[in-house]
Amino acid sequence: MDSKGYIAGFNTRHVNVYSVKLRIASILAGVMIAVIFTFIVMGVASYVYGDAMSTSFILLILVFVLLLDIFQFLAGPYLVGRAFRTRRINGEDPGTIWILQAVEEVCHYNNEKVPAVYIAEVSIPNAFAYGTPISGRRLAVTRGLIQILDRDEVKAVIAHEIGHLKHHDVALLMAIGIVPTVIFYLGYMLLFSGGSSRNQNGYNILVALALMAVSFIFSLMILGVNRMRESCADMNSESIPGGPEKLQTALAKIVSSTPVTGIGRRRPSGSSFSNMLLFTDPSSGERKSHERLLEEWKAMKISRLSTIFSDHPHPARRIQALERIK
């Protein structure tokens, strides 16, 4: 065992308390979303169709949206691969074999099975982890990422992505992502269907609009869960030697190298869900050196409300959290 607590490829230090708190908070947030969602669905179903029809109404909505969600979940890896032009890395390409070796090393530190490793042929520097039981676990880094980071920084980003795979974050996002969709459909059906005779009045419209507003609120809550899971994945950089510091410089380099407007460079297309898979928000570029960004972020005060519509934490928050565990 060395002085930093690493032995036989495994980090023997105590589990980071901040990481544990983030993980617990994200799980509790998911449970809270599910509980509140259940009460809303049952209440609205009872209001519209009466107690006798509540179960049938709930099942109708849930089955419809669940089938859509399952289809998106199963097709997701292939749609993401197409959007980001991914190509699997194998041992025959001397130019990318080191990426596969880096993933194997990080997985060794984490006692995790090595996922399929891909390179995404896009110039925007980023990385993402994804997959389903059918496609298997996958990890991709973009061509732009390996062009601007050194190999230790790439390893730190990989440790972040392995953190997502360890915590089953993609499945969590898909599971709770169904909630605002179901609530929106409840409002839509109430707005355009009759319901029972006792509810044939203007209150139906008010309730429908309220449900659509609640769907929006749930979407904000899911963004909050995503920010927590991103912060938790950052903490997994501690699983490799020098990971937190290297992840700081990697994040600063990525943001400083990402064009603010995307002019002159092809930005990968995709859904908001695929953007949530990325290591960092592709629209967060700043035209400053990464050294200057790091120093500014370490001292920056960020309001919680300023990131309420973001699917990633502000880089300053991430840098400051990493600074605490370095």
Mean pLDDT value across residues 95-109: 95
**Coil, strand, or helix at residue 189?**
helix
Q: Which of 2, 317, 6 is CA-nearest to residue 159?
A: 6
32 has pLDDT over 50: yes
Q: Where are the domains of the chain?
A: 12-325
7 has pLDDT over 70: no
Query: Considering only 45-59, 144-158, 172-186, which range has the smallest mean pLDDT?
Result: 45-59
217 confidence band (pLDDT: 50, 70, 90): confident
**Coil, strand, or helix at residue 176?**
helix
Phi, psi of 265 (to 5 degrees): -135, 140
Q: How far apart are CA 89 and CA 94, in angstroms?
A: 10
79 confidence band (pLDDT: 50, 70, 90): confident
Q: How far apart are CA 55 and CA 51, in angstroms?
A: 8
Question: 186 and 41 in contact (C-beta within 8 Å)?
Answer: yes
Catalytic residues: 161
Mean pLDDT value across residues 270-292: 79
pLDDT tens profile 63-75: 777 787 778 778 8
More confident residue, 248 or 57: 248
Q: Taking all residues of the chain, what is their mean pLDDT, rounded to a whole number?
A: 80
113 has pLDDT over 90: yes
Q: How far apart are CA 47 and CA 198, in angstroms?
A: 9
pLDDT at 69: 74
Mean pLDDT value across residues 297-308: 88
Return the exposure string of 164-194: e unless at least 16 CB atoms fall within 10 Å of the residue's CB, then b: bbbbebbebbbebbbbbbbbbbbbebbeeee
Give the bridge partners for 116, in sequence order.
138
Q: Half-sphere exposure (CA, 13 Å, Cβ side) for 294?
A: 15
Q: How far apart are CA 301 and CA 316, in angstroms?
A: 8
Query: Considering only 37-41, 243-247, 281-285, which range has the smallest mean pLDDT?
Result: 37-41
235 has pLDDT over 90: yes
pLDDT at 269: 47
